[in-house]
Amino acid sequence: MIDRQRVENGGLVLLLALVTIGLALVVSEFASALLWAALAAILFQPLFHRLHERWPGRRNLAAAMTLLTITVAVIIPAMVIGSLVVEQASGVYAQLRSGQINFALYFQQVHDALPERLQNLLGNAGLGTFERAQARLSEAVSSSASMLTQRALTIGANAAAFLLAFGVALYVTFFLVRDGEELGAKIVSALPLEPSVAQRLATVFATVVRATLKGSGLVALAQGALGAITFAVVGLPAALLWGMLMAIAALLPAIGPAIIWGPVAIYLFATGAIWQGAVVVASGVFVIGLSDNILRPMLVGRDAGIPDWLVLVTTLGGIEVMGLSGIVVGPLAGALFIASWQILTEQRQADKALSYTPPEA
């Protein structure tokens, strides 16, 4: 005899899966906008609480003021900086095409400035090998600049779609700020998990989001700003563009902004710009490098509990799969992976402890 209750429960689960997939397909065009709206709501939830305490019973006003703060403090400066970076990137690309910037020549200058013994080692290894490496590096830099410019032109061509997604993100952010805690509690209670497990995963989710955005994000921006100022002081062109590249590199453990300022310092020394190279090295080591150790404890306050190697891999993988959103989604996936396995291990150990029967004396 068919168990009607099991059939109905199975049908409900199937229906839930179908409607969830359908909803994901419907909102897929706005997935990034919805993701960043949720991240902004989580990050600025403490500000909403403070404003709501100031205006009790006026949740709409508190949410509106929170959204205004996000717009003035984050969105407008990001748009201004982004437009300047795109402008400088376009200028660099134009100079690359016209031949004013020749990375092959720069690499050759560095090679010629090396000690003679090291040059001989390179020569014994095969001059053609060095030339091929030089050509590949030049091609990679040129293609990266070309891709950046093409992305900028794509954004300009799809300005209407961008503005629509931006408006959706702001609209959703308002409601998530106002009702996010209640909605989050409902989602956690609806998960097919034990309440303690669901709550623990939700805590990990919020912790990693805040650590990545408030900690890693702001520290990276600070290091990028310091790098841009350093490059502007020594007179390098497109300092803001280089600073943005350093901010992106600062999100990656074990790599950091040194991957940008290090080669620049080598080039400056190789071309005889001694004091400029010394300034870049001093700033990179004592200003940019130490800012992470000073700012991160102040901004984060506690660690997200993810090993550095996993942060590096998940960040790179997240950027590859999801673009800019992968900066947060990648480490978040890694943290949830670790937390899930830790919970499973603890439950197995608890089950073994309960099932253990001590031997009789």
pLDDT in tens, 61-101: 999 999 999 888 888 888 888 777 777 777 766 666 666 65
pLDDT of residue 128: 43
Do residues 293 and 325 both lie within one domain? yes
Q: Does residue 132 share a domain with residue 98?
A: yes
Residue at 89 is within a domain:
yes
- Give the domain-ending residue among 190, 223, 249: 190
pLDDT (0 to 100) of residue 198 = 82
Residue 102: Cβ within 10 Å count: 14
The answer on 175 and 293 residing in a single domain is no
Contact 211, 299 (CB under 8 A): no
Q: What is the pLDDT of residue 130?
A: 47
> Distance between CA 153 and CA 147 in Å, rounded?
10
> Could you tell me if residue 242 is inside a domain?
yes
Segment 227-253, tens digit of pLDDT:
889 988 888 887 888 888 888 888 776
Residues ≥6 apart with Cβ < 8 Å to 42: 180, 206, 209, 210
The mean of the pLDDT values for the chain is: 77
Residue with tokens 């040059």: 119
If asked whether residues 212 and 109 sit together in one domain, one would say: no
Q: Kindly state the DSSP code that residue 56 receives in the 8-state scheme.
A: T
Establish if 355 belongs to a structural domain: no
Report d(CA 291, CA 293) in Å as an integer.
6
Is the domain of 182 the same as that of 39? yes
Residues 142 and 83 in one domain: yes
* Pair (176, 211) in one structural domain: no
34 and 74 fall within a common domain: yes
Domain ranges, residue 165: 30-190
Is residue 162 in a domain?
yes
Q: What are 18-44's pLDDT values in tens digits?
A: 998 998 888 888 888 888 888 888 888
In the listed set 158, 190, 222, which residue is the last one of a domain according to the structure?
Answer: 190
Which amino acid is it at 9? N
User: And the tokens for 295?
Assistant: 């700012």
Total number of domains in the chain: 2
Would 134 be classed as within a structural domain? yes
| Domain final residue, candidates 190, 208, 225 | 190
Give me the mean pLDDT over the 207-217 stretch. Answer: 77
Tokens matching residue 147:
């891709």
- pLDDT tens across 135-172, in order? 555 555 555 555 555 555 555 555 667 778 888 888 99
Whether residue 219 is found in the same domain as residue 185: no
In a domain? residue 2: no
Same domain, 210 and 161: no
Residue 56 sits in the same domain as residue 161: yes
Residue 354 lies in a domain: no
140 and 95 in one domain?
yes
205 located within any domain: yes
Backbone angles phi, psi at 128, to 5 degrees: -60, -35
> Residue 170 in contact with residue 71, Cβ under 8 Å?
yes
